[in-house]
Chain A
């Protein structure tokens, strides 16, 4: 089965530093998402992306966050100045929006630790 790939699997950074989390969605998918999960709790929606622009974003996705699809395959999440509370597992996901099963495919996640 096709996979969403995320790198790195773990990222440790100092508070105030910028981080970029990388994702390669499934190649024929059109819709891309970032979610985060703090300490195995609720999976929280951050942002959705379609046609090279943000479609939806949550209140979590403030000015410190940005997303980009720089080359037609990669999909990145940038956090400009990390805070301690940004420590979480970040999941990238993609979907094809088929009429009968809009299954969301998840990557294996990047565990971000902000010190």
Chain B
């Protein structure tokens, strides 16, 4: 079974509009973390935002916010006021405890976002 599911392989958004990238997860670990990373065409992985499973409030980092719905096991990324530079691949990832007590990070298949001028 997929641990991290990103159902949108590609998305378009008009510049200056907001966009939501979907992510659902599956874990039985009570303590976990959820991350979003951006991968531009240059290939590097850029950390955007983090949400801990015990955090009461949704995480925000500038124009990025994470809509965390624990009961639904969803962690959608909201980008407000999209910019052309936001065009990239976006990966949702989950950190859960590994079998040896260390962390394991699992990534979704990604959503390619294209911002239109």
Give chain A's interface residues, CB within 8 Å of chain B: 31, 33, 35, 40-45, 48, 50, 55-56, 89, 91, 93, 95, 97, 100-106, 108-109, 111
Contacts and interface: CB of A to CB of B under 8 A. Distances in A.
A80 B47 CA distance: 32
B99 A56 contact: yes
Given A40-B89, A42-B107, A104 B47 contact: yes
B85 interface: no
Interface of B: 33, 35, 37, 39, 43-45, 47, 50, 52, 89, 91, 93, 95, 98-110
Contacts of B33: 101-102
A33 B93 CA distance: 14
A103 B52 contact: no
Main secondary structure of the interface of B (DSSP, over half): strand
A50 B104 CA distance: 12
B100 A55 contact: yes
B45 A48 contact: no
Nearest to B44: A108
Contact of A50 (B45, B99, B102): B102
Given A40-B89, A50-B102, A56-B98, A104 B35 contact: yes
Contacts of A33: 105
Given A102-B50, A106-B37, 13 more contacts: A33-B105, A40-B89, A41-B109, A42-B108, A42-B109, A43-B93, A45-B104, A45-B106, A48-B98, A50-B100, A89-B43, A100-B52, A101-B52
